[in-house]
Structure 1
Amino acid sequence: MTQNISYFIEVLGIIVFTISGAFSAMQKRFDAFGVLIIGFVTALGGGTIRDVLIGFTPVTWMRTPDIPILIFVTGIITLFIKNYIKNLKTTFVFFDAVGLGLFTMIGIQKGVVTGLDPGICIILGTITGSFGGVLRDILLNNIPQIFRKEIYATACIVGGVIYFLLIQVIDKDLSRVITISLVCGIRLVAVKYNLSMPKFYA
């Protein structure tokens, strides 16, 4: 059951972050190849950095050929439904928030399986959830969201802390669902109500 939940989380995370990246590229008027590349980087950037940091090489997507295929198919489908997607004003924010929650949980799980300290697991979850978006924004010539006032990485950290508290008292699978929902919810609420971290000036 646990393995099935983990696999489902990873597949869903890859799909939603691919859509997020592809949608962002289409907003910048990239061609089809560019859209697929941005979708690929968004979906796998954070996980690739995480795997390199923990010495898990070749990285996950190189070990699992199904992952690049899934990203390619998702990207192609996104291209075909672009006219529908672009009419949804909240599409980018929604998919980005869902992907953030899912990938944060994936990163935390990787750290737990590796036997790392909870604090390091939370850092890995934050990297997994955030750094695909960082690479996406850099390639799109945008300031990465994680470095702006927006609540982004903070949502990952809060979710990670709550996860390790929850598994002390309730089932791990339920803890994962709650954590993913919490990270996603924090991100969406922050965007809706324009909540932000304090800014500092030199």
Structure 2
Amino acid sequence: MLTVLEIVGLMAFAASGSLAAVRAELDVFGVVVLGLTTALGGGIIRDVLLGVQPPAALVSWPYLVVGAATALAVFAFHPLVARLRKAVLVADAAGLGLFATAGTATALDLGTPGYTACLIGMTTGIGGGALRDLLLRQIPLVLRREIYALAALLGAVIVVAGHTLHWPTGPVTAVAAAVTVLARLLAIWRDWNAPLPRAGSNRWER
């Protein structure tokens, strides 16, 4: 089940990156590169921060094949994929919950402190999307709107709390992932965003 959910999340991230590339009118190579970056970027950042060399995503060919195949499918059938926006958002939320909590658990297994594991877990969940936006010369979405990084951080904190209390890792990770997914979906449904500066407060006073 964990592998299936991981593949679903990877496909959702790859589809998200590929759709963004299609909207930016990139060619097929650009669509595949952006799709792979979105799907695998967070995991690669995690492994680099934890000193895992080479990163797992670069030595496990199924991840590369699934990500590239998803990107090519989006390139070929992007009008249909765009109409399935709600399904893609749900799958993306599932991927966020799984990657954030699994990244946190991996960091804890390698002996990192709890606060470090939280940051690494959050980065695992949001890193690919941030890289996608940077490649498109945009301010990363997680820094300007939507409850996305906060949902990932919430799941990471639950994993660390369970680890600190010596609760079983599997059930705790599953609950944390579910909470992350629920928080993300509620944010989409209710259109929740992190607070923004008041109008006019970002202007320099002369």
TM-score normalised per structure 2? 0.84
**Quick one: distance in 2 between partners of 1:141 and 1:188?**
27
Which digits, 9 at most, give the CA deviation of each residue in 1:42-76, with x for residues without a partner?
01111111111111111112222232122122222
Please tell me whether the aligned partners of residues 85 and 91 of structure 1 are also in contact (alpha carbons under 8 angstroms): no
Where does residue 173 of structure 1 map in the other structure?
170
Candidates 143, 147, 153, aligned match of 2:149:
153
- 5+ residue gaps, structure 2: none
Where does residue 57 of structure 2 map in the other structure?
61
Please tell me whether the aligned partners of residues 16 and 96 of structure 1 are also in contact (alpha carbons under 8 angstroms): yes
Report how far residue 170 of structure 1 moved: 5.6
Percent sequence identity over aligned pairs: 30
**Quick one: distance in 2 between partners of 1:57 and 1:171?**
28
Where does residue 141 of structure 1 map in the other structure?
137
- 5+ residue gaps, structure 1: none
**Pair member with larger Rg:** 2
2:31 pairs with 1:40: no
Q: How many aligned positions are there?
A: 198
Where does residue 124 of structure 1 map in the other structure?
120
Q: Greater shift after overlay, 145-154 or 80-89?
A: 80-89
Which digits, 9 at most, give the CA deviation of each residue in 1:57-102, with x for residues without a partner?
1111222223212212222233344232122343453333222112
CA RMSD of aligned residues (A): 2.2
**Quick one: distance in 2 between partners of 1:112 and 1:76?**
35
Report how far residue 129 of structure 1 moved: 0.5
**Quick one: distance in 2 between partners of 1:144 and 1:99?**
18
2:102 pairs with 1:106: yes
Where does residue 182 of structure 1 map in the other structure?
179
